Amino acid sequence: METIFRTRYVSILAVVFGAIGAVTMFAIGSVTTIKGIAEYLGAGEAKAFSSDAALATTIEMIDALDEFLLGLVLLVFAFGVYQLWIPGGSDDDESQGRDINAPAWLRITSVTDLKVYLLEVVAVLLAVLFLKGVLENPVMTWPDLVIPVAVALFGATIWVIRKAH
């Protein structure tokens, strides 16, 4: 049984690659931010400091926000997997989720906690995606309302999980 229990350390792969993915998304978000600033300064098709440049910059910044949020999702996932399956040298269940010096909002003590955190960030990602769509095409159609409905469903799901937990 001890041998089977030790296989939990394979989850270190999810931690390492989740962290690498997070750093990658932060780098991509940084490049997109720089691209947005350059767009506003006139590096794109629009004249510098114009309303067209401001709109293009706003869309780039929303893209960057989306990329940073995805990086945060991966980071929270990596922290959560680490806290749940890789305790700091102790096999004591009470020590899980408390081994790293993380802020209280990032202490994950159950798989349900991890799911709720991930659902919350995915809901925010969908809201950002909807905002970007509205800015790029202000004329809304019925299919465009799928995203806000999904955000509302995510919110309801999160509420139900928190009430049950």
Domain that holds residue 21: 2-164
**Which pair of structure tokens corresponds to residue 154?**
């995510």
* Mean pLDDT, residues 73-87: 88
* Mean pLDDT, residues 23-46: 95
Mean pLDDT of the chain: 87
For residue 137, the 8-state DSSP code is: -
pLDDT value of residue 99: 54
Residue 109: closest CA among 143, 84, 73: 84
Cα separation, 158 vs 135, in Å, equals: 28
Distance of CA 17 to the CA centre of its chain: 15
Higher pLDDT, 99 or 2: 2
* Mean pLDDT, residues 120-147: 88
**Which pair of structure tokens corresponds to residue 76?**
């929270």
* Mean pLDDT, residues 57-72: 95
Query: Does the structure show a pLDDT above 60 at 69?
Result: yes
- Return the percent helix, strand and coil in the chain, to nearest 5: 80, 0, 20
pTM of the model: 0.80
Cα separation, 75 vs 86, in Å, equals: 16
- For 46, list phi and psi in degrees, rounded to 5: -85, 155
pLDDT value of residue 159: 92
Q: For residue 89, what pLDDT band results from cuts at 50, 70 and 90?
A: very low
Annotate 68-88 with b (16+ C-beta within 10 A) or e (fewer): bbbbbbbbbbbbbbbbbbbbe
Q: How many domains does the chain have?
A: 1
